[in-house]
Amino acid sequence: MRTEQRTLDLQRFLAAFDSAHTVAIESELRALHAPTLIMWGTNDIYFGVEWSHWLANNIPGTRRRVELDGACLFFPEERPAVLNDGLRKHWEESRN
């Protein structure tokens, strides 16, 4: 954040978090029958947990929706072990 340009770049990056992009592909999501795991941080300030419900309701392949209490948008960096455990379980179940 040493330059004004970096500050402006960060502001532009943060402003890009918009659920309109997800809503725009709703019909494609409804056709997605691949085994799907939705993991969501409850403290995500950009995308509220209601979006995880929306995704689960619109992706027929959803097998599980997991809320990570207190986690934020970048929870894979905050809680890599939780993510890895969830993915392993999902992949093992998806093989069956």
Res 21: pLDDT: 83
3-class secondary-structure state, position 54? helix
Res 30: pLDDT: 97
Phi, psi values for residue 93, rounded to 5°: -70, -30
Q: Out of 3-12, 16-25, 27-36, 66-75, give the one with best mean pLDDT.
A: 27-36
Phi, psi values for residue 45, rounded to 5°: -85, -10
Instruction: Tell me if the pTM is above 0.85.
Output: no
The beta strands (E) that lie in 1-96 are given as 36-41, 62-68
AA letter at 17: F
Domain parsing of the chain, residue ranges: 4-95
